[in-house]
Amino acid sequence: MTLQIAYFPPIEYFAVLARYSSVYIEACENYQKQSYRNRFRFCAENGMQSLNFPVRHEGGSVNVPVKEVEVDYSTPWVEKTLRCLDTAYFSSAYYEYYRDELRGIMLSRPRTLWELDMEIIRFLIRKTGLATRLVETDSYRGDALDIHPKCPNTILRDYGLEREYYQVFAQRNGFVPGLSVADLLFNEGPASLDYLR
């Protein structure tokens, strides 16, 4: 199985990871705008929200290998992201247990999109309790499963995982599907692994 890189990947991504002992991560593709590579979805008081981070566009980011795309730190997006996560998840059952390590990753300012995304994916793998090994591709494979914010998929239904879990703002918004696996982790903690399997 091959997956594309993703920033705070959606639950579907982790549902796939949970089914394999090792997964290839496509390291040789070109960067794609409007994808999960630099955006994620979470639930705040007013419902689903999206956050993204800027990348450097010197010469354009099209046809640039994903491992070479640099993160743009010229705006305070890291601080904004951390504030949004604090606001959305401060009252969740488990956020406080993961907050400091996650802040450390974000504040370390990895140079490339690849480095930032991989650090976050590895963090989320550890904290959800998955044992999946990630293997970088050494050439473009072209067979990566396309999990895209603008293209609905049936992964959760196919795996029998279309079920609700506790969310902080469920009384106000109802259950909100299609969020980052971080939402599951911050709300369910160690029980996230049971949900993903």
DSSP string, 19-79: T-SEEEE--SSBP-SSSTTSEEEEEETTEEEEEE--B--TT-STT-BGGGPBB--SS-HHH
Cβ(62)–Cβ(27) below 8 Å? no
Tally the domains of the chain. 1
pLDDT higher than 60, residue 61: no
Comparing CA positions, the residue from 181, 183, 184, 188 lying closest to residue 17 is 181
> Cα dihedral sign for 172, 178, 180, 186?
positive
Structure confidence at residue 54 (pLDDT): 95
Q: How confident is the model at residue 60 (pLDDT cuts 50, 70, 90)?
A: low
Pairing mode, strands 2-3 and 47-52? unpaired
Domain extent at residue 41: 2-196
pTM of the model: 0.94
> Cα dihedral sign for 160, 16, 127, 88?
negative
The residues near 166 (Cβ < 8 Å, ≥ 6 apart) are: 93, 187, 188
Give how far the C-alpha of residue 88 lies from the chain's centroid of Cα atoms, to the nearest Å: 16
Residue whose structure tokens are 């696996």: 181
**pLDDT tens digit string along 91-106?**
999 999 999 999 999 9
